Every structure is written in C-alpha cells, then in structure tokens.
C-alpha cells in the first residue's frame, strides 16, 4: 500500500466544504480532506452521517453551499465537466439499462467517457473478466442477478481508466466471494496508481483496501488516519470475548488497556470459554462515533459491550 508521502501529487482536495439544504439541514459541516495520488481512502460512518452527500459533492453531482473541491488541479465546482474526465463513479443507488447486454453497457459508457470504439471494446472485455462477468457479457443486464448488476456498476466506474475512483458503498449486496473479487480488483487498480475514495459499512473492507480511514459523523470528519493511527486513539487495546463464569452464563465482551489485566480477569472469573484479540477497527469506530461504548466504562480499565 502507498502512503501520502510516497506520492506527493494531490489527487483530490476538499476544503471546508459545507452542504446546507433549503430547509436548513446541514448534511456536511466543513469537511477538509486531501488525498494523494495513488492513495486509497475509505469513508466510514453511521447512516445519515453525510457520507453520500460528501461523495456526491466530490463527483460534482451536488453543489456545495460553501468550500472548494479540486480534482487533479481542476476546480470541480467551476468546471465540473473537466473534473469528471478524471473520475470514475459508482453512485450508491444507480440503476442500469436492463435492455442492454453487459458488454454493450460497458462499451457504450466507455465511449461516453471518450474511448475509441475498439478501445472501449477491449477494456470492456477485460473489465468483465476481472469482475467475473465474462459469461454474462452477452446476456441482457435485466437477466443478471443483483450482485452481477452491482459489479457491472463498478465496471462502469472502471472503464476509461480514470485516475480517481469514487465509489459509494461499492460492494453492498455482494456475496462474500464476489466482494473479495471486487477487493482484489480494486487493490490491483490502486497498486497501478489509481486513487480510490469509497464509502462502506464493512469494517473489513475498509481495513483491506484503505491506506487511510476517515470516520464521518454528523457531517464532520471525526477521525482520519491509518488503521494503526486510529487504533492508537483507542487505549483499550485488548478485547476479551468470554462465556460462562459462575455468575453469568451469556457471552460478553470486555476491553482492557493492558494484557496483564486480561490475564488477571481470566484468573479471577475462570470463564468456560474465552477469546483474546486486539481491538478492531469496529471497536475504534464505536469508540469514536460513540454509539456503543458511550457509558459502559466501569472505571477499572474495562469496557463492556
């Protein structure tokens, strides 16, 4: 994986962007984000946090109330069409043209991105193969499964080799095998130098694909950093999942700051079964977003979940 320092070129800069709707709702409240070329950034946050609104302002679909968006040196607010030549997008709730065949769909959208006919055809074949859709190339899109359509939508973002991919929950609705297939493809694309920004609800997806992770809550980035950086903000590094001590028979999870505390707890309570692991991105997420670990601390270095 690359880090911002390896590639100084700025792929995207969002400066203090705000989105306030006519009814006064402020969906995005001053987000600053700079993404280096070749970097992969995931956007995590609860429903309604402003992830999609933020991404739609980056893709030029939505005009910010205030702030600036710059994509590879182009002011995306002043010249959205030029900015869009550098972006491949998978919107969250986009539909496909069901009467087209899979290969036609990709080829025609490749041509709309400015590819010559032969180039659109060859890229279409390659992308369909990469997404495991070669056998569906000649099928009408309406006959494809929901997961296959979702993969086709990712293909529509990839065709034309745009240097920046903006994907809004790209793997929602995909089975685990298809999801990993998409991850592998996105890893290859990023390794080849493409910049990736995507939103997701899957922590594992964020861990697998991102150089940095941005946590958004209530229209603001509340944390931004690499996975170790975010984990370091969560002092309770050890997670103990255990079942059945003398008093309690159900499964419970506790967090501890030091490993010795875990050992001590196990010795004292003698659980029937237990599992120790380091805290995950999900734990960090809950900690920072404050949805789960809010008030369960018991003052002795343990937090129950």
Partner 1 sequence: MMRRLSDIYCIFRIHLARLRAESGPFLLAAIVFPLGMYFFANGVVRQDPNEFIPNYIKVHFVSASLVFSLSLTAISWFGYLLLENRFTGRLKLFAVLPVASSSYILGVMVFALGQGVVGSFSLLLAARLLGVDFTVNSFESVFLLIIVVLLAIFSLAGLSVVLAHRVRSFAAGSLMTDALGGGLVLLAPIYYPAETLPVAFRWVSKALPTTYIFQAINKILTGDLVIGTELTVLCGMAAVTLFIGFWQLSWREA
Question: In this chain, which of 25, 66, 78, 112 binds partner 1, going by CB under 8 A?
Answer: 112
**Shortest distance, position 34 Cβ to partner 1, whole Å:** 22
Give the whole-angstrom CA distance, residue 25 versus residue 48: 12
Q: Which of 38, 67, 36 is nearest to 54 (CA)?
A: 67
- Compare residues 156 and 303 and give the one whose CB is closer to partner 1: 156
Choose the stretch contacting partner 1; rule: CB under 8 A; options: 29-37, 102-110, 183-191, 282-290.
102-110
Does 34 bind partner 1 (CB under 8 A)? Our answer is no
Within positions 155 to 184, which residues make up the interface with partner 1, using CB under 8 A?
156
Residues in binding contact with partner 1, number by CB under 8 A: 30
Measured at the CA of 35, the angle between CA 34 and CA 41, to 5 degrees, comes to: 120
66 is a contact residue toward partner 1 (CB under 8 A): no
Sign of CA dihedral 136, 140, 143, 144: positive
Of the residues 7, 13, 82, 126, which one makes contact with partner 1 according to CB under 8 A: 82
Say how many CA atoms lie within 13 Å of 132 toward its Cβ. 17
Q: Yes or no: say if 261 and 302 are a contact pair by the CB < 8 Å rule.
A: yes
In whole angstroms, give the CA distance from residue 305 to residue 292.
Answer: 7
Taking CB under 8 A as the criterion, the residue among 97, 129, 175, 229 binding partner 1 is 97
Residue 7: C-alpha distances to residues 10, 37, 93, 100, 193 (Å): 8, 6, 32, 40, 9
Question: Under the criterion CB under 8 A, does residue 114 sit at the interface with partner 1?
Answer: yes
Nearer to partner 1, 11 or 240 (CB): 11
Instruction: Give the other-Cβ count within 10 Å of 114's Cβ.
Output: 10
Binders of partner 1 among residues 211 to 270 (CB under 8 A) are: none
Is 93 a binding residue for partner 1 by CB under 8 A? The answer is yes
Q: Which is nearer to partner 1, 83 or 221 (CB)?
A: 83
What distance, in Å, lies between the first and last C-alpha atoms of the chain? Answer: 32
Residue with Cβ nearer partner 1 (115 or 128): 115
Residue 163: alpha-carbon gap to chain centroid: 17
For partner 1, which is the closer residue by CB, 108 or 266? 108
Question: Is 63 or 258 the residue whose CB approaches partner 1 more closely?
Answer: 63
* 155 CB-side CA count, 13 A: 34
**Which residue from 10, 18, 108, 288 is in contact with partner 1, where contact means CB under 8 A?**
108
**For residues 256 and 240, is the Cβ–Cβ distance under 8 A?**
yes
Task: Give yes or no for residue 73 binding partner 1 (CB under 8 A).
Answer: no
Q: Which residues bind partner 1 (CB under 8 A)?
A: 56, 59-63, 80-82, 84-85, 87, 89, 91, 93-97, 99-100, 104, 108-109, 111-114, 140, 156
């Amino acid at each position: 994986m690359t880090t911002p320092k390896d590639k100084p070129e700025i792929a995207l800069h969002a400066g203090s962007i705000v989105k306030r709707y006519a009814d006064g709702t402020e969906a995005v409240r001053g987000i600053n984000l700079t993404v280096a070329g070749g970097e992969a950034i995931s956007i995590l946050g609860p429903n309604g946090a402003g992830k999609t609104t933020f991404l739609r302002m980056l893709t030029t679909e939505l005009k910010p109330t205030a702030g600036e968006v710059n994509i590879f040196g182009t002011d995306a607010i002043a010249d959205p069409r030029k900015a869009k030549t550098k972006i491949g997008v998978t919107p969250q709730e986009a539909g496909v043209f069901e009467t087209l065949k899979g290969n036609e769909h990709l080829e025609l959208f490749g041509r709309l991105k400015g590819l010559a006919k032969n180039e659109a055809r060859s890229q279409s074949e390659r992308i369909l193969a990469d997404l495991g859709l070669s056998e569906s190339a000649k099928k009408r899109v309406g006959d494809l499964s929901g997961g296959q359509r979702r993969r086709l939508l990712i293909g529509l973002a990839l065709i034309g080799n745009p240097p920046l991919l903006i994907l809004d929950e790209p793997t929602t609705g995909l089975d685990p095998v298809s999801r990993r297939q998409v991850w592998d493809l996105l890893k290859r694309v990023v390794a080849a130098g493409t910049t990736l920004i995507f939103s997701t609800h899957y922590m594992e997806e964020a861990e697998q694909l991102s150089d940095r992770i941005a946590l958004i809550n209530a229209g603001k980035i509340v944390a931004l950093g690499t996975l170790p950086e975010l984990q370091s903000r969560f002092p309770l590094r050890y997670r103990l999942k255990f079942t059945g001590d003398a008093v309690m028979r159900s499964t419970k999870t506790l967090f501890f700051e030091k490993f010795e505390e875990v050992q001590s707890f196990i010795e004292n309570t003698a659980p029937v079964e237990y599992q120790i692991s380091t805290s995950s991105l999900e734990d960090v997420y809950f900690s920072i977003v404050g949805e789960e670990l809010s008030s369960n601390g018991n003052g002795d270095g343990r937090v129950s979940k």
